[in-house]
Amino acid sequence: MKKIVRQLVLGFTGIMMAGIANAQLVANDKIQEEKIRSLISQMTLEEKVSLLHANSKFYVSGIKRLGIPEWALSDGPHGVRAEINRHDWAYAGWTNDSSTCFPPGTALAATWNPKLAYERGIVLGEEARFRKKDILLGPGINIIRSPLCGRNFEYMSEDPLLISRMSVAYIKALQSKDVAVSVKHWLANNQEEHRDSIDVHMSERALREIYLPGFKASITEGGAYTVMAAYNKFRGDWCSENEYLNREILRKEFGFKGVLMTDWAAAHTTIKAALTGLDLEMGTDKKDYNDWYFANPLIRAVEEGKVPVAVVDEKVANVLRVMMKTKMFDEDKREKGKMNTPEHQQAAYNDAAEAAVLLQNNGNILPLNFNNIKSIAVIGDNATRRHCNGGLSSEIKALYEITPLEAIRKKFGATVKINFAQGYEKQSTFKEGSNTGQTSSDKVDWKLIDEAVEVAKESEVVIIFGGLNHDFDTESSDKQSMDLPYGQDVLIREVAKANPNTVVVIIAGSPVKLSGIVHRVPAILWSWFGGMEGGNAVADLLSGKINPSGKLPFTLPVSLDQSPAHALGNFPGRNLSVNYEEDILVGYRWFDTKKIVPQFPFGFGLSYTDFSISNFYTDKINYGKGETIHAKCTVKNTGSHYGAEVVQLYVSDPACSVLRPEKELKGFEKIFLHPGEVKTVDLMVKIADLAFYDETKKAWNVEAGDFVLHIGNSSRNISKSVKISVK
């Protein structure tokens, strides 16, 4: 009884406290809005407009006499970019701007661990503040629609739920350090080819179900302070001046009160952009900043009565609001930040360690027992290549970057003979905005292959580090194929013939074709671009110090033509227009619905231990539309290594008035277990989240009837399914 009373008292106190905190927030917001109004009332039109366009590559002017500071922006979904000259794109040559470099977006998503996204956000926030930055441009959350998109590596997934969970955690953490995020690229920047001219068309349903949810969650749950409008057009209008996207959806539906900025040089007009809700112009390619669309032309437009001054005030208010939220007027109370701490480096390591996906491990060749091995061959350009400093706007001047070969030598070199061979050579040269440097019509270099075969023969075990580099996974151009470049297929074939104990490690941030190698080697580990600690993590994964626990955040097709956009011939579009005909069937939604067997499915990844998922049930059988399902199951580590399993909950709607994907991810959780340990997982799904977007009603719709819930550890490995009914 006493316990119940205590709980009641505690519960009541909790509600009271939450109520007080909420009231405090409302009061603070009120004070803030008054302060904003007062500041605006003291500004001249020229001063107002000076806040709405950059005064250099990454800064926006302040207004000294009103105590409004200059605004400092920096690139960086996975690190704070080195300082760039104010008025050109060259690096400023600072000696104190090397930073922590995390593995890029697809790797983060492959951890399926929002706690790591949160940890990353904290680190980035601290480093951004240390560098005195106010806005860190990212996260990049566009849907991975095609395996070829050059920026896939920066983005996260083909699945909106996985994106949403990672993005929200990242944003909350980063902004807690008094730095604003800029969620990008709003919207449908799903290819780099013709990115600054392509007009994207898709159904309203695809927009609502696939392309918007990540942004919606980032804004309504994550509370993102700024959003970056993409280069492309959407349904005929540039994203930076798109009434439907920017006024209707972003402002009205999502209630966004922050700043909508352009991508760099993505502004096209003054009046239309101003009226449709753009706030801030960045990166325009005109030397005199006064000539920018949101500079003198905006002043003129107001004077001529074409843009009401209230519209300008609205933009200035958005800018000031973000400044206040990030405590720019309260420097004493603001996060001071720190840089390159051991904790930051540990966070980068944790991501690389949890991101790696074990795709194949025949005969349990991995982990390698380095205590019993006398010699290994390390082969491949990616064994020694550093990647942090590539990919264009997301490139990082990392404080250091450990390559796989360096880590293997350091960790095992004292007792194991390490025989290195180059194996293949980088034959491409990168040129911004052009695909010419990266075709894979490469020569097979038999001299390098012969050398590699020789070291393979001399060694007990071989590790080939292959995959891509940032000539392929890069902003500004798309890959031309999914092939492994530089003759790697032939290299792997010949080496595996010479030594069957060959492990392949793929370093890449987007899908590549593995059909030429899966039958030739016993083990494949996908380790992504691993950031500054990538080499250490991969060495620890190979030796078993760390047990792989990553899962694919995208489907790995056998070949490009399996993939929806390519199967339907609508990538990269025709006549500068692309129609997303695959509609809602993106990624595994397509593969599963069309019963196409990919090379490796979405959500897939092996471990050095085994798990069982059992005892799957829901708390009820019949649900009302406002209710929440509790889907519970038991996960057990049935093997002999400590490890983690990602329990994935998919839902099907077998009888519906419209086509539904075969299944859709509706929940997941990463569970860490010691050998023999058992945990119960409770995944909650709102019935409302089972809805489809009903184009006839222009609303979300859950049709009454049966739904099937599937629990498993990939979209294609379902342990059990349970039927529920919605009234």
Closest to ligand BGC by CB, 253 vs 432, is: 432
Per-residue contact track with ligand BGC, 604 to 643, x per CB under 6 A? ----------------------------------------
Judged by DSSP in three states, 388 sits in coil
Q: At what angle do helices 534-543 and 342-355 cross, to 10 degrees?
A: 50
Closest approach, Cβ 699 to ligand BGC, in A, equals 33
553 preceded by cis ω (within 30°)? Answer: no
Closest to ligand BGC by CB, 475 vs 653, is: 475
Rounded CA separation 605/452 (Å): 29
Closest to ligand BGC by CB, 189 vs 403, is: 189
Closest to ligand BGC by CB, 137 vs 468, is: 137
- Mention every residue, 6+ apart, whose C-beta is less than 8 A from residue 682: 630, 631, 632
Closest to ligand BGC by CB, 89 vs 446, is: 89
Closest approach, Cβ 190 to ligand BGC, in A, equals 13
Question: Nearest-CA neighbor of 565 among 225, 95, 252, 191?
Answer: 191
Residue from 120, 131, 145, 184 that binds ligand BGC (CB under 6 A)? 184
Sheet of 199-201, strands arranged across: 237-238, 233-234, 199-201, 577-579
> Which 3-state string (H, E, C) describes 551-573?
CCCCCECCCHHHCHHHHCCCCCC
Contact (Cβ atoms closer than 8 angstroms) between residue 625 and residue 693: no
**Exactly one of 75, 134, 159, 263 is catalytic; which is it?**
263
Contact (Cβ atoms closer than 8 angstroms) between residue 168 and residue 212: no
Rounded CA separation 716/228 (Å): 35
Residues numbered 550-569 forming contacts with ligand BGC, rule: CB under 6 A: none
Give yes or no for residue 393 binding ligand BGC (CB under 6 A).
yes
Closest to ligand BGC by CB, 136 vs 507, is: 136
Rounded CA separation 313/578 (Å): 36
Closest to ligand BGC by CB, 283 vs 675, is: 283
Closest to ligand BGC by CB, 381 vs 395, is: 395
- Token code pair at residue 151: 């920026």
Question: Nearest-CA neighbor of 239 among 206, 197, 299, 203?
Answer: 197
- Mention every residue, 6+ apart, whose C-beta is less than 8 A from residue 481: 148, 440, 513, 560
Closest to ligand BGC by CB, 246 vs 607, is: 246
Question: Nearest-CA neighbor of 588 among 210, 213, 215?
Answer: 210
Q: What phi-psi label fits residue 68: left (phi over 0), alpha (psi between -120 and 50 degrees) or beta? A: beta
Contact (Cβ atoms closer than 8 angstroms) between residue 491 and residue 452: yes
Pairing mode of beta strands 71-75, 135-140: parallel
DSSP 313: H
Rounded CA separation 431/233 (Å): 24
The neighbouring-strand residues paired with 709 are: 651, 722
Closest approach, Cβ 228 to ligand BGC, in A, equals 7
Give yes or no for residue 263 binding ligand BGC (CB under 6 A).
yes
Residues numbered 456-495 forming contacts with ligand BGC, rule: CB under 6 A: 475
> Using CB atoms, what's the residue nearest to ligand BGC?
393
Q: Is 196 a catalytic residue?
A: no
With b for 16 or more beta-carbon neighbours within 10 A and e for fewer, the 565-602 pattern comes to: bbbeebbbbeeeebebbbbbbbbbbbbbbeebebbbbb
Closest approach, Cβ 140 to ligand BGC, in A, equals 7
Closest to ligand BGC by CB, 81 vs 710, is: 81
Closest to ligand BGC by CB, 157 vs 719, is: 157
366: Cα separation from own chain's centroid:
28
> Residue 161: what are its φ and ψ, rounded to 5°?
-70, -45
Number of residues interacting with ligand BGC: please give it, by CB under 6 A.
7
Give yes or no for residue 148 binding ligand BGC (CB under 6 A).
no
DSSP string, 290-311: GGSTTSHHHHHHHHTTSS-HHH
Give yes or no for residue 180 binding ligand BGC (CB under 6 A).
no
Residues numbered 405-444 forming contacts with ligand BGC, rule: CB under 6 A: none
Closest to ligand BGC by CB, 137 vs 378, is: 137
Closest approach, Cβ 137 to ligand BGC, in A, equals 4
Closest approach, Cβ 275 to ligand BGC, in A, equals 24
Closest approach, Cβ 530 to ligand BGC, in A, equals 22
Give yes or no for residue 75 binding ligand BGC (CB under 6 A).
yes
Closest approach, Cβ 176 to ligand BGC, in A, equals 22
Closest approach, Cβ 96 to ligand BGC, in A, equals 21
- Token code pair at residue 387: 């990647």
Closest approach, Cβ 151 to ligand BGC, in A, equals 8
Polymer length in residues for the chain: 727
Closest approach, Cβ 375 to ligand BGC, in A, equals 45
Rounded CA separation 29/321 (Å): 9
Closest approach, Cβ 184 to ligand BGC, in A, equals 5
* Other C-beta atoms lying within 10 Å of the C-beta of residue 433: 12
Rounded CA separation 506/492 (Å): 12
Question: Nearest-CA neighbor of 120 among 160, 169, 191, 63?
Answer: 169
- Mention every residue, 6+ apart, whose C-beta is less than 8 A from residue 570: 578, 579, 580, 581, 582
Closest to ligand BGC by CB, 243 vs 432, is: 432
Residue from 264, 472, 650, 692 that binds ligand BGC (CB under 6 A)? 264
Distances (CA, A) of 560 to 555, 602, 659: 11, 15, 24
Closest approach, Cβ 300 to ligand BGC, in A, equals 27
Residues that bind ligand BGC (CB under 6 A): 75, 137, 184, 263-264, 393, 475
Catalytic residues: 263
